[in-house]
Structure 1
Amino acid sequence: MSILKELEWRGAINQQTNAEGLEKLLSEKAVGLYCGVDPTGDSMHIGHLIPFMILKRFQLAGHKPLVVIGGATGSIGDPSGRNSERTLQTMETIQENARKLTAQMDKLFLKGDVEASGFRIVNNYDWLSEFSLLGFLRDYGKHFNVNQMLAKDVVASRLEFGISFTEFTYQILQSIDFHHLFKSENIQVQIGGADQWGNITAGLDFIRRVEGSEAEAYGFTIPLMLKSDGTKFGKSAGGAIWLDPEQTTPYEFYQFWLNQQDGDVVKFLKYFTFLSIEEIETLEKEVAEQPHLRNGQKHLAEEITRFVHGQEALDEALLITEALFTGNVKDLSTKQIAEGFKNMPHYTAPRVAQNLAIWLVDIGLISSRRQAREFVQNGAISINGDKIADLDFEISPEHAIGERYIIVRRGKKNYYLVTFED
């Protein structure tokens, strides 16, 4: 099966400029492809990841992927997907974001070794920053018809709300990128999200206008990712799921994928893993016949966590998950506790020894001493994984994991993290 046919099976192609021509080109030689991301933030989230995973698939199929960090385009703002102007960031912020995104891409795709990876990362600031205003208008502006630019969805959707000249020119800059890479890097294919169709086709038009109608360049977009309930994919109750482990811990990242609905998991296995068609079809059958086992979710969470964060981070996420499921939390490190309990209820306790039932009320975890005594007496309270049923039990800083944390479990599912004051 060709790579395009596989992408179609995975549901990963939305629009193509010339499917037959691209299929033929890909069958004849190793082809250069690119996808870009603007440094509007200091980390990508999982919604950004899809087109870059497609680049990875092309790499595995023997092609030549390239990533463009938009140090220049990010300074003016892409108008697509918004009804208002972006707030312009300082060049210092953009450059710092570009540095962080480059490091993130390196971790995902280069692994610190450009030669072995076959991937390359470039920054469009390196060539776009060299233009003068008059050079830009004379050498490039003349090739873009305003009527055609207005007809592009990326601009037309903004006309009701208004669009600045700055954001209006975004498609010109992205077109220059495509032409520059076509000439200097032999890049013939651009990949982007569904909202990038107008920018991609503008680039193809520009290449053919400058290089001739026979110039072989192609583009395709990926579909907008929606969940089975029709809502936009990529957010949790706490906000975006970031690739930066400081913003979304590997445990949180793993749990996000583990908790996907049965109606979504097969689609996400196709998008976000490099499992074979046969492996995914086997998991699809298991999801349908034995959904309670959640094998699809487990494979999805493990594959994507390993890809983004590495095996060691996955192992830690699995360890925390197992500890919380079984209640055997005493062997967790303070780092693992901080990661696993980041979004659980937190309480603070003074560094003194105290009767457990009174302590639970004084720190605010339980509302009354009568209720606290009932919980203890009925064996509903565990401290660091050990069930406590002794009403005379005294808790002290000596019980703290790493001299800092007490993990309280009430019943089977309710966890609380208590931190002793410094």
Structure 2
Amino acid sequence: MDSLTIASPLEWSALGARGLGVIVDPVIFRMGQIFLKGRAAAGALAEQQSAAITDDLASLVTFFDLLVLHEQLPAFNYTSTFDIGLNFDQSLGALLNQDRQVIVPVDVQWQAYSSTKAAAIGQFRRQLANGPFLPAGTAQDILNGIKQIEYEWEPNLEGLQNDLPDPEQVRLAQFMVGVLVFAGYAQQSGVPHVLSPRRSRLVAAAGLGDGRADDQAEAAIYQELARRFRLAGDGWRDQQLPWTPSFLPYLLSRLNPLRDGPDVLLSRALDLRDSPAVARYRRLRAAALSGSGDDSAAARQELTAAADSVAKALDSDRGELEMTRYLAVDLLPKAVGVVAGAMAGGLAAGPPGAIAGGLAGIVGEESLKPIHKRLFGWVLDQLPFHSARKLLTRAVTSDAATAGKLAATMQIVWETGPRSAT
């Protein structure tokens, strides 16, 4: 199996060079893994995994969209977050890399990981000085969610845990530091950080310092995000992408859920990538997300027309296929006064955190104070900076009957299970 190693902060450009153009929230992969294994594989955890599928159905929509819209996707030290004790070929790779390599395991080695984690912990520690970092309702939602999916990543907090009152707060801090670590990976590589709808809302709310991150608060969160970007000045950009087809409803409508299990759904999703209309749309969208694409009205119209062509080729329409909307949120190098990717003397001596000091484009705490006031967590101090780009996902509001039918069908397919389990 092909893989990629990031041994030092100098090597993050390898991600884009390999065509691995997104950093995916590992929760999205985990939801896909739970679903693809089927109910029989869940054993005693079947009820909590069933609840996870219903509660975070939008992550599964995003999972299948990513599979169709990308040739390959990177997974960063996945078994450190889930399936500790297994190697990647026994975990997510066993499900997705059977006939072709869909997921590329990326090993972020100690030097690159520890410098990123140190920056994440430092930033989080300063945020704690402002008081509780999550409201009680949001905190409980996170704790319930990570229990449902057996989230196992518990990064060493390097003494930060001593400032927290109880084990639940420590667990929440580990979770939030993990979110910041992935933000640091995106900052250093310059590729978009793709978040599920639930995590998008949480990350946006935390960045804004908003007290709520539930479904009812979503519209207000994104309105405030847009307002701050309008006031932020040069170097900040938020852009609602043209409508993006979501392929799960289409795939399910062509499935017999009582006979066809998750493996059949996966196979058809991967085959869908090869259709000419989807392939063209995928190329245009990749260019738009790379940062090198044309942001003009003409380019956006072309992307919209390509999405319409996908719907037509699938004998479908926008009403069936638009399940998610995407907001591209960028903090560009000129906003923090750095030159991305430049070098100034190679590696510095000293501990892993000092490695970043050998690069031009290091973001210092003082220069980031105005940015943190607007949006905490978008840029990590003392890390090389290429760009900070997040692709925030919002679930399209639909009537309860439609959403309920989609969730019910996914449950039936999950219960049918893969052919290997029958």
TM-score in terms of structure 2 length: 0.27
- Which is bigger in relative contact order (C-alpha 8 A, separation at least 6)? 2
TM-score in terms of structure 1 length: 0.27
- Computing the radius of gyration from Cα coordinates, the structure with the larger value is 1
